[in-house]
A and B are shown apart, each in its own frame.
Chain A
Amino acid sequence: GENVEQHPSTLSVQEGDSAVIKCTYSDSASNYFPWYKQELGKRPQLIIDIRSNVGEKKDQRIAVTLNKTAKHFSLHITETQPEDSAVYFCAASPGGGADGLTFGKGTHLIIQP
Protein backbone atom coordinates (compact mmCIF):
# COMPACT_ATOMS: atom_id res chain seq x y z
CA GLY A 1 0.00 0.00 0.00
CA GLU A 2 0.83 3.68 -0.08
CA ASN A 3 3.23 5.17 2.48
CA VAL A 4 3.54 8.93 3.03
CA GLU A 5 6.46 10.47 4.90
CA GLN A 6 6.22 14.10 6.09
CA HIS A 7 8.94 16.45 7.34
CA PRO A 8 9.58 18.26 9.55
CA SER A 9 7.40 17.20 12.46
CA THR A 10 7.67 20.69 13.98
CA LEU A 11 8.46 23.95 12.19
CA SER A 12 8.87 27.30 13.90
CA VAL A 13 9.10 30.45 11.76
CA GLN A 14 8.99 34.17 12.39
CA GLU A 15 5.80 35.95 11.43
CA GLY A 16 6.14 37.19 7.86
CA ASP A 17 8.66 34.54 6.85
CA SER A 18 7.94 31.57 4.58
CA ALA A 19 7.29 27.98 5.67
CA VAL A 20 7.92 24.85 3.63
CA ILE A 21 6.64 21.36 4.47
CA LYS A 22 7.76 18.36 2.44
CA CYS A 23 6.20 14.97 1.78
CA THR A 24 7.27 11.87 -0.10
CA TYR A 25 5.07 9.00 -1.23
CA SER A 26 5.79 5.45 -2.29
CA ASP A 27 3.05 4.42 -4.73
CA SER A 28 3.75 5.67 -8.25
CA ALA A 29 0.03 5.19 -9.03
CA SER A 30 -0.94 7.99 -6.63
CA ASN A 31 -2.50 10.86 -8.53
CA TYR A 32 -4.20 13.09 -5.98
CA PHE A 33 -2.37 15.04 -3.25
CA PRO A 34 -4.37 17.18 -0.82
CA TRP A 35 -3.10 19.25 2.12
CA TYR A 36 -5.17 19.67 5.27
CA LYS A 37 -4.92 22.16 8.13
CA GLN A 38 -6.08 21.03 11.56
CA GLU A 39 -6.45 23.33 14.52
CA LEU A 40 -6.51 21.87 18.02
CA GLY A 41 -9.69 19.90 18.62
CA LYS A 42 -11.06 20.65 15.16
CA ARG A 43 -11.67 18.71 11.97
CA PRO A 44 -9.08 18.61 9.16
CA GLN A 45 -9.84 21.29 6.59
CA LEU A 46 -8.65 21.15 3.00
CA ILE A 47 -6.44 24.11 2.14
CA ILE A 48 -5.15 23.12 -1.28
CA ASP A 49 -4.84 20.04 -3.47
CA ILE A 50 -3.00 19.06 -6.63
CA ARG A 51 -3.56 16.44 -9.27
CA SER A 52 -0.81 14.45 -10.95
CA ASN A 53 -1.11 16.26 -14.27
CA VAL A 54 -0.13 19.57 -12.64
CA GLY A 55 3.31 20.55 -11.35
CA GLU A 56 2.35 23.56 -9.25
CA LYS A 57 -0.77 25.24 -7.91
CA LYS A 58 -1.18 28.53 -6.03
CA ASP A 59 -3.94 30.02 -3.95
CA GLN A 60 -3.01 33.42 -2.52
CA ARG A 61 -0.25 32.80 0.07
CA ILE A 62 -0.32 29.02 -0.32
CA ALA A 63 1.29 26.98 -3.05
CA VAL A 64 1.90 23.28 -3.62
CA THR A 65 4.50 21.73 -5.92
CA LEU A 66 4.58 18.15 -7.17
CA ASN A 67 7.51 16.19 -8.59
CA LYS A 68 6.13 12.86 -9.83
CA THR A 69 9.51 11.56 -10.93
CA ALA A 70 10.95 11.98 -7.43
CA LYS A 71 7.61 11.17 -5.77
CA HIS A 72 7.56 14.20 -3.55
CA PHE A 73 5.34 17.22 -3.05
CA SER A 74 5.66 20.33 -0.91
CA LEU A 75 3.50 22.98 0.72
CA HIS A 76 4.74 26.56 0.67
CA ILE A 77 3.19 29.27 2.84
CA THR A 78 4.45 32.81 2.28
CA GLU A 79 4.07 35.86 4.52
CA THR A 80 3.08 33.69 7.46
CA GLN A 81 0.56 35.05 9.96
CA PRO A 82 -0.36 34.00 13.52
CA GLU A 83 -3.53 32.30 12.25
CA ASP A 84 -1.37 29.95 10.18
CA SER A 85 -0.32 28.20 13.40
CA ALA A 86 -1.79 24.68 13.24
CA VAL A 87 -0.95 21.11 12.31
CA TYR A 88 -0.67 20.48 8.58
CA PHE A 89 -1.14 17.07 6.98
CA CYS A 90 -0.24 15.93 3.51
CA ALA A 91 -2.01 12.96 1.94
CA ALA A 92 -1.89 10.85 -1.20
CA SER A 93 -4.30 8.61 -3.03
CA PRO A 94 -3.81 6.21 -5.96
CA GLY A 95 -7.53 6.28 -6.61
CA GLY A 96 -7.89 10.00 -7.00
CA GLY A 97 -9.12 10.16 -3.41
CA ALA A 98 -12.07 7.90 -4.12
CA ASP A 99 -10.76 4.88 -2.22
CA GLY A 100 -9.40 6.79 0.75
CA LEU A 101 -6.35 8.87 1.59
CA THR A 102 -3.03 7.91 3.15
CA PHE A 103 -1.90 10.68 5.46
CA GLY A 104 1.50 11.80 6.65
CA LYS A 105 2.05 12.19 10.40
CA GLY A 106 1.67 15.93 10.35
CA THR A 107 3.75 19.07 10.84
CA HIS A 108 3.13 21.38 13.77
CA LEU A 109 3.68 24.87 12.37
CA ILE A 110 4.39 27.54 14.98
CA ILE A 111 4.39 31.20 13.94
CA GLN A 112 6.54 33.26 16.29
CA PRO A 113 5.43 36.91 16.71
Chain B
Amino acid sequence: NAGVTQTPKFRILKIGQSMTLQCTQDMNHNYMYWYRQDPGMGLKLIYYSVGAGITDKGEVPNGYNVSRSTTEDFPLRLELAAPSQTSVYFCASNIGTGNQPQHFGDGTRLSIL
Protein backbone atom coordinates (compact mmCIF):
# COMPACT_ATOMS: atom_id res chain seq x y z
CA ASN B 1 0.00 0.00 0.00
CA ALA B 2 1.19 3.50 -0.84
CA GLY B 3 -0.79 4.95 2.09
CA VAL B 4 -1.79 8.61 1.71
CA THR B 5 -0.42 10.30 -1.43
CA GLN B 6 -0.44 14.06 -1.94
CA THR B 7 0.33 16.00 -5.11
CA PRO B 8 1.99 18.31 -5.86
CA LYS B 9 4.82 18.37 -3.29
CA PHE B 10 5.62 22.05 -3.93
CA ARG B 11 3.77 24.87 -5.63
CA ILE B 12 4.12 28.63 -6.01
CA LEU B 13 0.95 30.58 -6.79
CA LYS B 14 0.26 34.21 -7.54
CA ILE B 15 -2.33 36.09 -5.50
CA GLY B 16 -5.79 35.46 -6.88
CA GLN B 17 -4.92 32.22 -8.69
CA SER B 18 -6.75 28.98 -8.01
CA MET B 19 -5.51 25.46 -7.57
CA THR B 20 -6.47 22.02 -6.30
CA LEU B 21 -4.36 20.00 -3.91
CA GLN B 22 -4.82 16.31 -4.54
CA CYS B 23 -5.03 13.60 -1.88
CA THR B 24 -5.66 9.91 -2.40
CA GLN B 25 -5.45 6.92 -0.08
CA ASP B 26 -5.41 3.21 -0.87
CA MET B 27 -6.20 1.87 2.60
CA ASN B 28 -9.99 1.90 2.15
CA HIS B 29 -10.27 4.40 5.00
CA ASN B 30 -13.64 6.05 5.51
CA TYR B 31 -12.41 9.25 7.16
CA MET B 32 -10.17 11.81 5.52
CA TYR B 33 -8.83 15.18 6.70
CA TRP B 34 -7.06 18.30 5.53
CA TYR B 35 -4.77 20.22 7.89
CA ARG B 36 -2.54 23.23 7.42
CA GLN B 37 0.68 23.83 9.31
CA ASP B 38 2.11 27.32 9.52
CA PRO B 39 5.81 27.76 10.41
CA GLY B 40 6.55 26.85 14.03
CA MET B 41 2.95 25.91 14.72
CA GLY B 42 0.83 22.83 15.18
CA LEU B 43 -1.58 21.55 12.58
CA LYS B 44 -5.03 23.08 12.20
CA LEU B 45 -8.01 21.22 10.75
CA ILE B 46 -9.45 22.75 7.57
CA TYR B 47 -12.08 20.20 6.46
CA TYR B 48 -12.84 16.56 7.02
CA SER B 49 -15.01 13.86 5.47
CA VAL B 50 -16.57 10.78 7.02
CA GLY B 51 -17.38 9.16 3.68
CA ALA B 52 -18.13 9.77 0.05
CA GLY B 53 -20.50 12.69 -0.39
CA ILE B 54 -20.10 13.96 3.19
CA THR B 55 -17.84 16.82 4.23
CA ASP B 56 -17.63 19.05 7.30
CA LYS B 57 -15.80 22.22 8.26
CA GLY B 58 -12.94 22.17 10.69
CA GLU B 59 -11.33 25.02 12.61
CA VAL B 60 -10.07 27.10 9.64
CA PRO B 61 -12.26 26.45 6.55
CA ASN B 62 -12.45 29.99 5.11
CA GLY B 63 -10.96 30.27 1.62
CA TYR B 64 -11.09 26.53 0.93
CA ASN B 65 -13.49 24.03 -0.56
CA VAL B 66 -13.49 20.23 -0.63
CA SER B 67 -15.35 17.40 -2.27
CA ARG B 68 -15.46 13.64 -1.69
CA SER B 69 -16.86 11.80 -4.68
CA THR B 70 -15.01 8.55 -3.96
CA THR B 71 -13.66 6.80 -0.86
CA GLU B 72 -10.10 7.18 -2.16
CA ASP B 73 -9.92 10.87 -3.11
CA PHE B 74 -10.34 14.07 -1.11
CA PRO B 75 -9.16 17.15 -3.07
CA LEU B 76 -8.77 20.58 -1.47
CA ARG B 77 -9.47 23.64 -3.62
CA LEU B 78 -8.21 27.18 -3.15
CA GLU B 79 -10.35 29.53 -5.23
CA LEU B 80 -8.66 32.92 -4.78
CA ALA B 81 -5.21 32.40 -3.32
CA ALA B 82 -4.12 34.88 -0.65
CA PRO B 83 -0.70 35.29 1.05
CA SER B 84 -2.26 34.11 4.34
CA GLN B 85 -2.73 30.69 2.74
CA THR B 86 1.02 30.17 2.42
CA SER B 87 1.50 27.01 4.47
CA VAL B 88 2.22 23.31 4.40
CA TYR B 89 -0.91 21.28 3.77
CA PHE B 90 -1.26 17.73 5.08
CA CYS B 91 -3.90 15.22 4.16
CA ALA B 92 -4.66 12.37 6.54
CA SER B 93 -6.97 9.41 6.80
CA ASN B 94 -8.16 6.84 9.30
CA ILE B 95 -10.44 3.88 9.22
CA GLY B 96 -13.13 5.78 11.11
CA THR B 97 -14.11 3.27 13.76
CA GLY B 98 -13.06 3.60 17.36
CA ASN B 99 -10.07 5.61 18.46
CA GLN B 100 -7.80 4.86 15.54
CA PRO B 101 -4.69 6.79 14.50
CA GLN B 102 -4.58 9.15 11.57
CA HIS B 103 -2.12 8.42 8.78
CA PHE B 104 -0.56 11.47 7.14
CA GLY B 105 0.66 12.16 3.63
CA ASP B 106 4.00 13.86 2.92
CA GLY B 107 2.44 17.29 2.57
CA THR B 108 2.19 20.02 -0.07
CA ARG B 109 4.31 23.13 0.46
CA LEU B 110 2.41 26.07 -0.98
CA SER B 111 3.72 29.61 -1.34
CA ILE B 112 1.51 32.47 -2.51
CA LEU B 113 3.30 35.56 -3.74
In the complex, per-residue mask of B83-106: 1 if CB is within 8 Å of any chain A CB, else 0: 000000010001011111111111
In the complex, per-residue mask of A18-33: 1 if CB is within 8 Å of any chain B CB, else 0: 0000000000000110
B48 interfacial by beta-carbon distance below 8 Å: yes
B74 interfacial by beta-carbon distance below 8 Å: no
Spot the interface stretch: B20-28, B39-47, B65-73: B39-47
Chain A residue nearest in CB terms to B44:
A103
The reply to whether A31 and B59 contact each other, CB–CB distance below 8 Å, is: no
Residues in A with CB closer than 8 Å to B105 are 43
Count class of interface residues, chain A: 20 to 34
Q: A44-B90, A98-B31, A101-B45 are in contact. Are A1 and B59 (CB under 8 A)?
A: yes
**Which of B43, B45, B90 is the most central at the interface, judged by chain A CB atoms within 10 Å of its CB?**
B43
Chain A residue nearest in CB terms to B42:
A103
The reply to whether A49 and B31 contact each other, CB–CB distance below 8 Å, is: no
Residues in B with CB closer than 8 Å to A46 are 101-103
The reply to whether A43 and B106 contact each other, CB–CB distance below 8 Å, is: yes
In the complex, per-residue mask of A34-45: 1 if CB is within 8 Å of any chain B CB, else 0: 100000001111
8 A-B pairs besides A43-B106, A99-B50 with CB distance below 8 A are A46-B101, A96-B98, A97-B94, A97-B102, A102-B45, A105-B41, A105-B42, A106-B41
Binding site for A on B (CB under 8 A): 31, 33, 40-45, 48, 50, 56, 58-59, 90, 94, 96-107
